[in-house]
């Protein structure tokens, strides 16, 4: 029996992953700001611990991790799922909106990871799964600040993977595309208070598309939950796991663009090295 520790587990991806793990016979520590919302969604179960965690409080993260170990003896899989979106141009996003977003999506993830890592280090085992986004691999107009939080998650995950590998701990960053969850409705998506007319042809189109697109996303969230079980079962899990054909398409397109641009600018890129002529 593995022990999962999942943040933001009362709805969306978090609840579906928790549900799938329980059905697989594992134990789940499902965290949320309001624990009764977890039991309302998942019910009560001897292998389920619903506990309070506002990820912006590192003290609460340490408390929740301690409760998990007290209840089940260990933490095998950490799923850093809690987060939300912000739609708006970079210029439109206020300092307060930006700081709040980073507080949850980046600093919250760091706080929970710091709370769980001592237990995994002691075990010399564990798997940290950080949920990023297709927006953490390639930028979109209107998703710049949100994407910046996910780009941060990608970089943190890469570095962390190298740091903890000698300790028997694995790290995967998951990059979902658009799935039919509540991400695009008001429960998970904030919009900048300011809207600048000059961005109507770029960010304005993204806003309109997000409203029209909701409910028609390609991704099936229940299939995502099953993919997480396969990831947890993997003896050698990937550093990155894109989920959704839309994510795969965007990654392939960006990789091709980067390769083309690098080829065009390779001479300039390599011209800055020290040489005998410049000594």
| Residue positions annotated with a catalytic role | 132, 146, 150
Report the SS3 class of residue 52.
strand
DSSP annotation string for 95-116: HHHHHHHHIIIIIIHHHHHHHH
CA dihedral 51, 12, 102, 209 (to 10 degrees): -170
Distances (CA, A) of 39 to 11, 45, 51: 11, 9, 10
Query: How far, in Å, CA of 67 to CA of 35, rounded?
Result: 13
């Amino acid at each position: 029996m593995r022990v999962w520790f999942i943040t933001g587990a009362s709805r969306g991806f978090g609840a579906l992953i928790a549900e799938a793990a329980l059905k697989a016979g594992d134990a789940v520590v499902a965290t949320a700001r309001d624990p009764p919302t977890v039991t309302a969604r998942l019910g009560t179960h001897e292998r389920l611990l619903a506990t309070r965690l506002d990820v912006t409080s590192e003290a609460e993260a340490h408390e929740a991790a301690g409760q998990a170990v007290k209840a089940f003896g260990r933490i095998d899989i950490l799923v850093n799922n809690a987060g939300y979106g912000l739609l708006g141009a970079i210029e439109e996003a206020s300092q307060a909106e930006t700081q709040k977003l980073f507080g949850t999506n980046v600093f919250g993830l760091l706080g929970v990871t710091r709370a769980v890592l001592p237990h995994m280090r002691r075990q010399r085992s564990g798997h940290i799964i950080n949920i990023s986004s297709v927006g953490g691999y390639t930028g979109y107009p209107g998703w710049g600040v949100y994407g910046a939080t996910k780009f941060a998650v990608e970089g943190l995950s890469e570095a962390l993977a190298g740091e903890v590998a000698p300790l028997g701990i694995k790290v995967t960053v998951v990059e979902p595309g658009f799935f039919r969850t509540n991400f695009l409705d008001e429960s998970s998506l904030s919009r900048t208070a300011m809207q600048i007319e000059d961005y109507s042809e770029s960010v304005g189109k993204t806003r309109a598309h997000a409203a029209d697109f909701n409910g028609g996303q390609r991704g099936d969230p229940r299939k995502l939950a099953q993919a997480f079980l396969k990831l947890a079962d993997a003896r050698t899990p990937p550093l990155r796991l894109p989920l959704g054909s839309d994510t795969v398409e965007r990654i392939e397109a960006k990789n091709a663009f980067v390769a083309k641009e690098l080829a065009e600018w390779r001479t300039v890129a390599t011209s800055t090295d020290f040489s005998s002529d410049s000594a």
